[in-house]
Structure 1
Amino acid sequence: MSIVVGFGPETRSGSGLRLAASLARATGDDLVLCCVVHDSFESPSLRDFSGVDDDWRRELAALSRQALAEARAQLPGDLAVEEVLRVGRSVPQILEQEAHRREARLLVVGSADGAFGRIGLGSTSDRLVHSSRVPVALAPRGYDPAPGEVSRLVLAVDPSHADRALVPGTVQVLERLGTPLSIVTFAVRGGSRGAFTAFRESGVYAQWRRQVGETQEHIAREVRARCPGIEVRTASVVEGERWSSAMRGADWRPGDLLVVGSSTHASLARVFLGSTATRILRHSPVPVLVLPRGRSGSADRD
């Protein structure tokens, strides 16, 4: 099995590459460096300019070979690495096809321009987290794991029966990584402080907290039963007035990998991030793994 990491000939960030190397080292999977050239000259309106497209393609090919060489040079020498160059009009489609062709466990991409230490979705990564049939891992901008490996899985869940379906996909990842698991639910208060105080004092809030505990404990029992050697902890609820403060409030550690599931509204076997998962992803200070739903090892999330 393999892990495919995608990038373009002009990609300057090595965050996705470092995450993919960390995952490959932890799982023992081969690493496939897939440089994708976006061939805009497939457009009929540009085919009449004889010679221009050939020159441009040669330049892109040279840039791509250089990008592959530079990417390989950043990786540890003991990793099994294959370099491939692909050309086409749809970069996300090419990456997913490459992942399927190799029966890859994961498809890894870096972060687009944005805040340092956060995940920024570009056109390719945004498309992948809304259409991929392969789990997608995304690295924050500037990601550089100090220990060099993933050392803990943090599973974000909502208090719903739907998120109990995260168990098979989470188990598959744990079986490969062998790391401890922490289960957490993020909650954003929003509104006025007085309104939230009234909500907290109501029976609705108490019922919601019970549902959180039941969902987390159900998932923990299932994971322990399937992975008896794995340490599993429930972390209850991390609250904040905004998503940024809620995400900062978690007990993040070096080597953490945050796992979220796709929306319950996703098509069968595809990723489709709901609003909650999207906000978690955009504010996460650690890499995020998005699991598709409707397949073995899948998950769903709203």
Structure 2
Amino acid sequence: MNQVIACIDTFNHTAETVCDYANWASVQMQASLTLLHVLEKNEAPVKANLSGSIGLGAREHLLEELSSLDEQRSKILREQGRLLLEEAKKRVDVTAIPSLETLQRHGDLIENLLDLEASTRLLVMGREGSHAHETSHIGSHLESVIRTVQRPILISVSDFKAPSRFMIAYDASPTAKKVLERVAFSPLLKGIPCFVLMVGAKTETQLEQLSEAKQTLEKAGFLVETDIRAGEVDSVIHQTLKDVEADLLVMGAYGHSRIRQFLVGSTTTKLLRSAQVPLLLLR
């Protein structure tokens, strides 16, 4: 389990940003990088139904022509995928990472990611796919990937910027404590100042929980600031990111508390649409 996988569906600005964040993560963790392009089923040739009253000879002729066109289209799509992976490869600084691989696969994106899950250390995806709306297959699959793939997921947003400060949305739940441990023991964010945010009232219990979180990260060598702020979770998170000038938001992907519910259901889409910084989702 030592590779970063970057999902590429076409080579546009989103793909460039995905490549940049994947390259940065590979350097930070000294992990191999794989640029993945999946030719999905809905992009593959579609067989026509010619079972109607058309004559036998004409039907056979049309089937032959359709088969030939399908084959040509399949070749074109494969070549298009190969070329976009070559363009993506040029974006990567191969001198700073252990190795770089390009991988083209057919089928369902999520099925392919699950097939590669055992060797995946981090998955990097863009918030949008080919276009800046949900019709593109990577963008439209993002929430399903978050729910299904049991690996850390870095979601790129806008232009690449190497994080100079990251923020953890924390609620002292078992999941959130695991997030802290993952951050503490991973080289991905080493050396980057951290801000830990809790949303709610400044009770004695929450102050104690926040102090414990700070100690965990400080023992791992992080420079840590903390705060507890009241209000609606999404608004507080977005405002605090601006206030502390954080370049990355780290959160647990699942759970039942106020913060963790923010990533479940329709609010997932809301967060992904409105976030101005990349998100690192951990389990």
What is the TM-score with the length of structure 1 in the denominator?
0.70
User: How many Å apart are 1:173 and its aligned residue?
Assistant: 3.0
- Looking at structure 2, the residues matched to 79 and 38 of structure 1 have their Cα atoms a distance apart, in angstroms, of 31
Alignment correspondent of 1:67:
84
Secondary structure of residue in 1 paired with 2:75: helix
Q: Runs (4+) of structure 1 moved beyond 6 Å?
A: 42-48
User: How many Å apart are 1:17 and its aligned residue?
Assistant: 1.4
Matched, 1:128 2:119: no
Secondary structure of residue in 1 paired with 2:148: coil
Q: Deviations over 1:88-118 (max 9, x none)?
A: 3211221342342xx2210001121549xxx
Equivalent residues of 1:184, 1:235 under 8 A apart: yes
What is the TM-score with the length of structure 2 in the denominator?
0.74
Q: Among residues 205, 214, 217, which one is paired with 1:223 in the alignment?
A: 217
User: How many Å apart are 1:291 and its aligned residue?
Assistant: 0.8
Equivalent residues of 2:199, 2:233 under 8 A apart: no
Identity within the alignment, %: 21
Alignment of 1:129-278 (within 5 A): 129-140=146-157, 142-145=158-161, 149-158=162-171, 160=173, 162-174=175-187, 177-186=190-199, 205=201, 207=203, 210-225=204-219, 227=220, 229-237=221-229, 243-244=234-235, 246-250=237-241, 251-253=243-245, 256-264=247-255, 273-274=263-264, 278=268
Secondary structure of residue in 2 paired with 1:25: helix
**Alpha carbons of structure 1 residues 288 and 175: separation in structure 2 relative to 1, 3 Å:** closer
Q: Between Structure 1 and Structure 2, how many residues are aligned?
A: 252
Matched, 1:25 2:41: no
- Looking at structure 2, the residues matched to 28 and 106 of structure 1 have their Cα atoms a distance apart, in angstroms, of 12
User: How many Å apart are 1:83 and its aligned residue?
Assistant: 3.1
RMSD (Å), alpha carbons: 3.3
User: How many Å apart are 1:36 and its aligned residue?
Assistant: 1.4
- Looking at structure 1, the residues matched to 237 and 30 of structure 2 have their Cα atoms a distance apart, in angstroms, of 34
- Looking at structure 2, the residues matched to 276 and 53 of structure 1 have their Cα atoms a distance apart, in angstroms, of 38
Equivalent residues of 1:34, 1:95 under 8 A apart: no
- Looking at structure 2, the residues matched to 95 and 138 of structure 1 have their Cα atoms a distance apart, in angstroms, of 15
Unaligned 5+ segments in structure 1 are 116-120, 188-204, 266-271, 293-302
* Bigger proportion of residues as helix: 2
Q: Deviations over 1:18-67 (max 9, x none)?
A: 21122222222222111111133487768974223311210111111110
Equivalent residues of 2:28, 2:188 under 8 A apart: no
